[in-house]
Amino acid sequence: MRPSRAADCSAGTHPVRIGNVMRTPITIVIPTLNEAAQIAECVRQLAWAAEVIVVDGGSSDDTAAQASAAGARVIEAKGGTIAGQRNAGIAQAAHPWVFAVDADERVTPELAAELDQVVRAPDHEAYRVKRRNLLHGRVVTHGRWGRDWVVRLFRRERRYIERKVHEGLEPVPDIGALAHELVHVPYRDLAHHVQKMVVWSRLGAEELAAQGRRAGWSDLMVRPALRFWRELLINGALWQGAAGAASAGMGAVGVFLKYLFLWDLNRRSDA
């Protein structure tokens, strides 16, 4: 049975006064690795939250210093996964509710106001939020990027499932939906898009290899084509015009690279 609203309030969901400012009783957790270019902006626009924790994975730039100067509490979690970083931050959360944010995401004032209302009188054990994805200067309204829902608001007893890629919160049976969107700008430009795609494809291949998977000809020739046409036609990226075609194409390239890396891992392990 879900705790009553009265129980929620007694568990520490009253407004928090910091100096002369009343802040939302929530902990924001942000995993980082070499995010000096944007972490300060990310943290500063979270000033409405009572606590912001940045979990740094061992940055070689001044991400940690930038985050601390902007007002976050910084902890280190080197050498692990993003899920591990998130879990390390959640474990140190001072407030009953946690909202997970990435360095390339921004909480709008409308979403911040909604979060304030929800954590003070919750109706669910966790909440999902729709991401407003901006790819190369345009808001994506179709395709998988246009229907991007992620579970990000939850009680601090919850943890993320450890994976190298596509980490997600452990299953929660009672999930609500937030009305306002979380802004997401995943890539600075096309070159950054390609750079990140290579990194994620390699990690995805390593995860498949650890599961004993092997790459065959169909993985390299059929899967990428299916991904392209499914995204373009079935998921509706076609209606986004050239931008939708570019997004579908990049998705197909990502699939090809993942299985190409897996093929290379298989080949080297067989040698």
pLDDT tens-digit readout, 201-255: 999 999 999 999 999 999 999 999 999 999 889 888 888 888 888 889 999 999 9
Spell out the domains of the chain, with CATH numbers in brackets: 5-184 (3.90.550.10), 190-270 (no CATH)
The residue type at 131: R
pTM score: 0.83
Summarize pLDDT for 249-261 with one digit per residue, the tens. 999 999 999 999 9
Closest among 2, 9, 177 to 96, alpha carbons compared: 9
| More confident: 2 or 124 | 124
The pLDDT value given to residue 136: 80
- Which one-letter DSSP state was computed for residue 234? I
d(CA 148, CA 130): 6
**Distant-in-sequence, close-in-space partners of 104: CB < 8 Å, separation ≥ 6:** 35, 38, 42, 184, 185, 186
Contact 23, 49 (CB under 8 A): yes
The residue type at 119: V
The pLDDT value given to residue 15: 65
| Mean pLDDT, residues 28-35 taken together | 96
At 261, list the tokens. Answer: 């890396």
Per-residue pLDDT for 132 more than 50? yes
d(CA 259, CA 220): 6
Per-residue pLDDT for 9 more than 50? no
The pLDDT value given to residue 17: 58
| Mean pLDDT, residues 133-152 taken together | 89
Confidence category of residue 21, pLDDT binned at 50, 70, 90: low
| More confident: 100 or 271 | 100
The pLDDT value given to residue 7: 38
